[in-house]
Amino acid sequence: MKQSQRTIFQVDLTQIDGDGDFPCPKCGTVISPEDETETVYKIVDTRVKNEELEELVIQCNKCESKIRLVGFLAIEK
């Protein structure tokens, strides 16, 4: 079993106060979904439903954890 299986963390944006920034569940780096520079994280997968962003999977550039962001639709109301 040499395969490295990383845990995918899940962050529900509806559970986050403020402007949507949250700390990486593993290393604590603050991640802002509004940040599109890819210096802190990069987007690895997006899931769209009815032309609206439903789910986003990102990877923290510091610790390389994958984080699944959910709750976009609830925020868009």
Interface positions with Zn ion (CB under 5 A): 24, 26-27, 29, 60, 62-63, 65
Distance of CA 38 to the CA centre of its chain: 12
Min dist. Cβ of residue 31 to Zn ion (A): 8
Which residue, 26 or 73, has its beta carbon nearer to Zn ion?
Answer: 26
Minimum CB–partner distance for residue 15 and Zn ion (Å): 18
CB atoms within 10 A of CB 66: 17
Name 2's Cβ contacts closer than 8 Å, sequence gap at least 6.
none
Smallest distance, Zn ion to C-beta of residue 77, A: 29
